[in-house]
């Protein structure tokens, strides 16, 4: 599979849309095309080169992810796969439901917390695996608990996403790595997090450069049983640790 990252609102929201295509069949989907003025030129170029755009895929209903749906539909009359509250949505897959993009297998993973309709999507093409996590999992961090609880984020990160193969590449909805590292390095000073800090300081974009296995090593929200993380929070119960971490990150 081929993944094209399309940065949007650089310097403010630092969002990403993703054009994912099957290199054999040319079938493709566009994930979270929230800012059409930045996304449509890339779509036109791809379609002109033979890409067959089959659907819009949304990770959740927030405007900076699903807000471009109506505008994109004016050019491409295609179905929208996403959470139940996404604008113009035509299909909400159930948890664990699968569908195809050409030869690529896609599995919907419900991860309620940031929003109750948050869905991550696992794309598998042979041994090539990628997960598009919206605002649930960032490189080195996680989303705010706008509509959910610490229990739900623990389940989303440490049960649903942590169960994926360690070599699954992570493609989040925003480039927030530098900020996440600024917080994470206060919590744990391990070699994995120091390496992530060095990479983030020398690379503008980090999406697709790290895996679920990496996240288990340096993402403090996926290390709730780590003594260093528990010491930072002053808690030992994993839900209390998750809650304290999010509160501390929010106050930065």
Q: Could you give the residue numbers annotated as active site?
A: 60, 62, 64-65, 114, 135, 174
* DSSP conformation letters of 39-51: HHHHHHHHHHTT-
Euclidean distance between CA atoms 8 and 64, whole angstroms: 9
Using the Cα atoms of residue 131, residue 24, residue 19 and residue 99 in order, give the sign of their dihedral.
negative
Question: What's the length of the chain?
Answer: 252
Nearest to 103 by CA among 171, 199, 23: 23
Q: How far apart are CA 101 and CA 200, in angstroms?
A: 31
The residues that bridge with 142 in the sheet, in sequence order, are: 137
For residues 100 and 152, give the distance between their C-alpha atoms in angstroms, rounded to a whole number. 28
Which residues fall within 8 angstroms of residue 45, CB to CB, at 6 or more apart? none
Residues 6 or more apart in contact with residue 91 via CB below 8 angstroms = 79, 80, 81, 82
């Amino acid at each position: 599979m081929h993944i094209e990252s399309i940065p949007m609102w650089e310097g403010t929201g630092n969002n990403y849309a993703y054009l994912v295509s099957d290199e054999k069949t040319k079938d493709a989907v566009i994930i979270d095309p929230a800012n059409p003025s930045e996304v449509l030129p890339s779509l036109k170029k791809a379609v002109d080169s033979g890409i067959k755009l089959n659907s819009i895929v949304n990770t959740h209903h927030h405007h900076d992810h699903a807000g471009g749906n109506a505008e994109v539909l004016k050019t491409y009359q295609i179905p929208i796969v996403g959470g139940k509250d996404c604008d113009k949505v035509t299909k909400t897959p159930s948890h664990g439901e699968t569908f195809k993009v050409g030869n690529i297998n896609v599995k919907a993973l419900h991860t309620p917390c940031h929003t109750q309709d948050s869905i991550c999507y696992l794309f598998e093409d042979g041994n090539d695996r990628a997960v598009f996590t919206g605002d649930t999992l960032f490189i080195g961090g996680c989303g705010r608990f706008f509509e959910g609880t610490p229990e739900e984020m623990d389940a989303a990160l440490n049960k649903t996403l942590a169960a994926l193969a360690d070599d699954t590449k992570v493609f989040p909805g925003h480039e927030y790595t530098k900020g996440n590292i600024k917080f994470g390095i206060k919590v744990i000073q391990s070699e994995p997090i120091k390496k992530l800090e060095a990479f983030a300081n020398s690379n503008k974009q980090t999406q697709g450069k790290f895996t679920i296995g990496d996240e288990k090593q340096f993402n403090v929200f996926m290390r709730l049983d780590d003594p260093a993380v528990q010491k930072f929070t002053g808690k030992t119960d994993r839900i209390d640790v998750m809650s304290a971490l999010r509160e501390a990150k929010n106050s930065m």
